[in-house]
């Protein structure tokens, strides 16, 4: 049987690829590399700017159900968290506890549909205080995925050490990188992505 691979990428502006002059982001780069490796796939980019985990929870399953109804290998990649940790009125838009609980609920919903899931952690931004909150959320998401038996790609620590990522975010809008920054995050995700695709 020919493998009909279909993947929904669910998340925020980083999933959408905001800031990338090539209009690919890390999702487009992963898809291009996968096709170059000889594995055709259908991708659906369901990233929405400024959305928190709670916003995404409200829409993601219905959007994926519309797209993952055909094919014989149906998968979801989830990535969010930066907007959860953004402060409004002196507090994060979503508490870390609620963010982790929301991810748990989404993973449970995906399991109920029989969809394999890969979770990519939130990247750092040009705000030291927010990066502390992001590092904590990154740890919480990693624990949640470990408990659920779902692979998790942590990018926070590596990107904070990346001169390319840091420079592009700082010279951009303070959150999103340019093309070279998206190359950096794609390089971090690619090995885990390829390993995940081999599990059937």
Q: What is the number of other CB atoms lying within 10 angstroms of the CB of residue 196?
A: 18
Burial of 96 (0-12, 13-18, 19+ CB in 10 A): middle
Give the pLDDT score at 71.
85
| pLDDT(1) > 70 | no
Domains in the chain with CATH codes = 5-198 (3.40.50.1110)
Give the pLDDT score at 93.
98
Tell me: the pLDDT tens digits for 159-169? 999 999 999 99
Give the start-end residues of each E strand in 12-138. Answer: 42-47, 73-79, 87-88, 91-92, 116-120
Q: Which long-range contacts (CB under 8 A, 24 or more apart) does 54-61 make?
A: 54/84, 54/94, 54/98, 54/102, 55/83, 56/10, 56/11, 56/12, 56/80, 56/102, 56/106, 57/102, 57/105, 57/106, 60/10, 60/106, 61/106, 61/109, 61/113
Note whether 33 and 101 are within 8 A (CB). Answer: no
Tell me: the pLDDT tens digits for 48-83? 999 999 999 999 999 999 999 888 999 999 999 999
Whole-structure pTM value: 0.98
140 pLDDT band, cuts 50/70/90, is very high
Give the pLDDT score at 70.
85
Mean pLDDT of 92-118: 98
Instruction: Return all residues near 142 (Cβ < 8 A) that are at least 6 apart.
Output: 121, 152, 154
Instruction: Return all residues near 19 (Cβ < 8 A) that are at least 6 apart.
Output: 168, 172, 173, 175, 176, 177, 178, 181, 182
Instruction: Return all residues near 129 (Cβ < 8 A) that are at least 6 apart.
Output: none
Give the pLDDT score at 112.
98
Give the pLDDT score at 200.
80
Tell me: the pLDDT tens digits for 8-50? 999 999 999 999 999 999 999 999 999 999 999 999 999 999 9
What phi and psi values does residue 67 have, to the nearest 5 degrees?
-105, -25
Give the pLDDT score at 187.
98
């Amino acid at each position: 049987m020919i493998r009909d691979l279909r993947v929904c990428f669910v998340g925020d502006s980083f999933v959408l690829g905001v800031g990338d002059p090539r209009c690919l982001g890390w999702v487009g780069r992963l898809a291009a590399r996968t096709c170059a490796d000889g594995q055709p796939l259908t991708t659906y980019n369901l990233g929405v700017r400024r959305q928190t985990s709670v916003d995404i929870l409200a829409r993601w399953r219905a959007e994926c159900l519309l797209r993952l109804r055909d094919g014989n290998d149906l998968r979801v990649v989830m990535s969010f968290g930066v907007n959860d940790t953004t402060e409004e009125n002196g507090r994060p838009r979503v508490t870390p506890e609620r963010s982790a609980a929301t991810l748990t609920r989404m993973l449970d919903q995906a399991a109920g549909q029989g969809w394999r899931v890969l979770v990519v952690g939130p990247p750092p931004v040009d705000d030291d205080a927010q990066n502390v909150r992001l590092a904590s959320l990154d740890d919480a998401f990693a624990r949640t995925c470990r408990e659920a038996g779902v692979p998790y790609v942590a990018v926070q620590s590596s990107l904070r050490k990346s001169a390319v990522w840091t420079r592009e975010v700082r010279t951009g809008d303070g959150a999103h990188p340019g093309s070279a920054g998206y190359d950096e995050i794609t390089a971090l995700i690619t090995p885990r992505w390829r390993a995940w695709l081999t599990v059937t």
